[in-house]
Amino acid sequence: MNEELCLLPATRLREAIGRRDLSPVELVQAVLQRADRLQARLNCFITICHDEALREARAAESAVMRGEPLGLLHGIPYACKDLVNTRGVRTTLGSKLHASTVPDHDAVAVQRLRAQGAILIGKTTTSEFGAKCLTDAPLFGRTPNAWNPLHTSGGSSGGAAVAVASGIAPIGVATDGGGSTRIPAACNGVVGLKQSIGVVPHSQALDAIGNLTYVTPISRTVADTALMLQAMAGEDPSDPWSAGVRPAAYLDAAQSMADLRGKRVLFAFAPSGRPIASDVRACFSRAIGTLQDLGAEPIEMSTEGWDIEPIWRTINHTVWRARFTSLAEAHPTELSPSLIRQLALASEYSAVDYQNANFERTRLFRRVQDLFAKADFIAVPTLSRTAPSIEQDLFDPLEIDGRSYAEMRPNWFPWTMPFNLSGHPAVTLHCGFGADGLPVGVQLIGRLHGEAELLQAATLFERESNLLGHWPNLDASS
């Protein structure tokens, strides 16, 4: 079993396949064997596509040997969150009610990965309908953190983050409606990008106009994220925000900046009145120092007026109320208790509340736009603490430095929700380890449709931080 292949980034793997130094069949076999070996420990897959993946790998190998033109991701295995439609492969949405659902079409993002030669190896775990920041559901149970099974993987894209962090797949597809890519990426020490709204079409969004959710890449390296984004980006008739978006050479762009001289970075530790753990504060301070070492000018920004969670909750939960209330009434014992509870809270919102929240969303967008008139990037901690216990529930108190906080969302990830609402691109990067040995993430935010510049800064930060050689010790507990 050649598991060394599983530790290589997609950029290296595609080069080896293109040179005929590596067979897609050999690569996919190695990845599937690692998935089988680690699944009992990690519980990060709902479905593993053994037969389908090997069939596609053999076809990919034949194309290489015939000298055919190869796509950006030809022969590269990927994992896909089980919220995202995959043609002919079970897509459960993490729900018992969809345990046997098999779509007859791909989501646009998956369609594009397939067109570029990527090979689906499996569907990864998610909270039911992606409705919380933890990855557990009645259908499959809990997905633990890749670094420590006693801690949560975060969510709702925990399975995708763990599959990437553990070397099962070099790249994955996630989704992000309030931080659902960036939260588990930070918990597991990988790269999680939420691109600008519309850059990757969201063909499954029911409310495409008012949408705040994104189909995203997730990977171990910034270069792999850039490669995925290059394959997934571009306009599609299903998504009005994608109109006029053109695919860009994100991989080349990401590697084309020498330093951050002349760049201004606004930064803040926590929104006013919100906590931050001392070890996260220390890691984030070092991250700001790294940006400064790269030539950037850090400028501390005001933390007032960033209590965004009530706006996000009003919009998001109203959408959930419309989508899931009838399901909850018909199947009250089959849905997640936390989803039922969130739907009950959503019943408090009126149409006026919803519209006022959208007025606030517009004001937030303009505020962020004003910040980028003064600076090139924003830097904030992705999360206020490392991954909590595997037993953590959405409605349990959250402990930070010995103090208990009643609400999880505004106290654990206050800095992810704002940029779902504003639409600006945001990427979380591994920036060190907390006192418990778990990863800590720093989030960089860029200008609207400024993915190329954001990925350039992220590449420089990743290189300077020198953390890519750190892997979870899975052999000790597998």
Catalytic residue among 81, 96, 194, 263: 81
100 carries an active-site annotation: no
81 is catalytic: yes
Q: Is 381 exposed, middle or buried (0-12, 13-18, 19+ CB in 10 A)?
A: buried
Pairing type for strands 136-137 and 141-142 reads antiparallel
Rama region for 278: left / alpha / beta (φ>0; ψ in -120 to 50; rest): alpha
**C-alpha 437, offset from chain centre:** 21
Cα 454 from Cα 356, distance rounded (Å): 31
263 an active-site residue? no
Of the listed 157, 180, 219, 384, which one is catalytic?
180
d(CA 389, CA 268): 26
Is residue 177 exposed (0-12), middle (13-18) or buried (19+ Cβ within 10 Å)?
buried
Residue 149: count other Cβ atoms within 10 Å of its Cβ: 18
**Which amino acid is it at 168?**
I
DSSP characters for 182-206? HHHHHHHT-EEEEPPTTTS--TT-S
Residue from 156, 336, 338, 422 carrying the catalytic annotation: 156
Helix/strand/coil (H/E/C) assignment for every residue in 64-116: HHCCCCCCCCCCCEEEEECCCCECCECCCCCCHHHCCCCCCCCCHHHHHHHHC
State the residue for tokens 């969670």: 309
DSSP state of 5: G
Active site residues: 81, 156, 180
